[in-house]
């Protein structure tokens, strides 16, 4: 799918992919770390299911990912840079508060939560591949991936970072840009979660503990429900059940 482009908050060129009827209800899908809209949402049919259900499916490639710009200037990565880019996209599309839905997986879920805390107002929200500790303890998670980047050429099978290194290699990740991005993601304290008042689905693989407890996250959010699908953090994205649950909740 060919990408269109929009400008981030600072004028950086960012890619966005679109599927479905543009007169339908808009839904923003934010992909995970080191991934892309193509891998997270298009390849395994989740976007197509939403499009078939009548949604206007809008899928940006986050800064430093996919077809989007990957600047090496540290000034291009202020705190919560991805949140700033999401606001720029929503403003550029003219998305009115309460007139669109927001879905994020892993880093995309963290970005979605941070965006809502900072004032973005989707009708419904989906936090996928995310648990409470993944929001409240991001710095520890970021350190893991920064270490994987720094030791990229020496990581061997059996190392805890082997899967992360392998995925970076498969996705041809720009490690300089990715490292800068990881340092820009803001942490979220549990008391801030009270700002997430819209109906929310916490969606997680049955074997996914990468970002902590999904049931605990659903418990502390003001208006949340929990759904589980087969798989681990990585494999749950390949499951058709992910798209089915998105349609079920949003439609």
- Asked whether residue 101 carries a pLDDT value surpassing 80, the answer given is yes
Rounded distance between C-alpha atoms, residue 110 and residue 127, angstroms: 8
Give the pLDDT score at 136: 83
On whether the CB atoms of residues 131 and 214 are closer than 8 A, the answer is yes
- What average pLDDT does the structure give for the chain? 96
pLDDT per residue over 56-75, tens digit each? 999 999 999 999 999 999 99
Q: What b/e sequence results for 76-110 when a residue is b if at least 16 CB atoms lie within 10 Å of its CB, and e otherwise?
A: bbeebbbbbbbbbbbeebebeeeebbbbbbbbbbb
Q: What pLDDT does 177 receive?
A: 98
| Nearest CA among 7, 62, 83, 29 for reference residue 174 | 62
Q: What is the mean pLDDT of residues 218-246?
A: 97
Q: Give the pairing type, strands 4-7 and 13-19.
A: antiparallel
Residue 190 or 36, more confident: 36
What confidence score (pLDDT) does residue 3 get? 86
Res. 1: pLDDT tops 70: no
- Encode pLDDT of 113-126 as tens digits: 999 999 999 999 99
Percent of the chain with pLDDT over 90: 94
- Short-list 173, 152, 171, 172, CA closest to 161: 152
Task: Report phi then psi at 87, rounded to 5.
Answer: -60, -40
The confidence band for 221, taking pLDDT boundaries of 50, 70 and 90, is very high
Domains and CATH numbers, the chain: 4-138+185-250 (3.40.50.1820)
pLDDT of 199 > 70? The answer is: yes
| CB-based contacts of 144, cutoff 8 Å, min separation 6 | 160, 161, 164
Token pair 């949402």 in the structure block, residue: 41
Tell me how far apart the terminal alpha carbons of the chain are, to the nearest angstrom.
25
Mean pLDDT for the stretch of residues 78-89: 97
Helix 81-93 / helix 107-117 crossing angle, nearest 10 deg: 70
Pick the more confident residue, 177 or 190: 177
> Where does the pLDDT of residue 141 fall: very low under 50, low under 70, confident under 90, or very high at 90 and above?
confident
C-alpha 62/C-alpha 117 separation (Å) is: 19
pLDDT above 80 for 2: no
Task: Say yes or no to pLDDT of 78 above 90.
Answer: yes
Residue 228 has pLDDT above 70, yes or no: yes
């Amino acid at each position: 799918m060919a990408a269109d482009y929009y400008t981030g908050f600072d004028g950086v060129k960012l890619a966005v992919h679109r599927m479905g009827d543009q007169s339908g209800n808009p839904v923003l899908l934010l992909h995970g770390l080191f991934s892309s809209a193509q891998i997270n949402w298009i390849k395994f049919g989740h976007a197509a299911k939403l499009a078939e259900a009548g949604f206007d499916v809008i899928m940006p490639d986050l800064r430093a990912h996919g077809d989007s710009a990957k600047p090496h200037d540290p000034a291009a990565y202020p705190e919560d840079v991805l949140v700033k880019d999401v606001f720029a996209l929503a403003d550029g599309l003219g998305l009115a508060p309460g007139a669109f839905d927001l879905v994020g997986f892993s880093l995309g879920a963290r970005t979605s939560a941070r965006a809502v805390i900072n004032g973005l107002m989707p009708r419904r929200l989906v936090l996928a591949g995310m648990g409470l500790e993944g929001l409240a303890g991001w710095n520890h998670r970021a350190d893991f991936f920064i270490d994987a980047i720094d030791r990229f050429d020496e990581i061997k099978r059996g190392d805890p970072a082997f899967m992360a290194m392998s995925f970076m290699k498969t996705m041809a990740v720009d490690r300089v840009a990715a490292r800068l991005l990881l340092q820009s993601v803001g942490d979220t304290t549990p008391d801030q979660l009270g700002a997430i008042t819209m109906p929310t689905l916490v969606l997680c693989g049955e074997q996914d503990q990468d970002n902590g407890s999904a049931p605990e996250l659903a418990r502390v959010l003001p208006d949340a429900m929990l759904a589980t699908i087969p798989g681990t953090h990585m494999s749950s994205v390949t499951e058709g059940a992910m798209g089915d649950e998105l349609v079920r909740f949003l439609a």
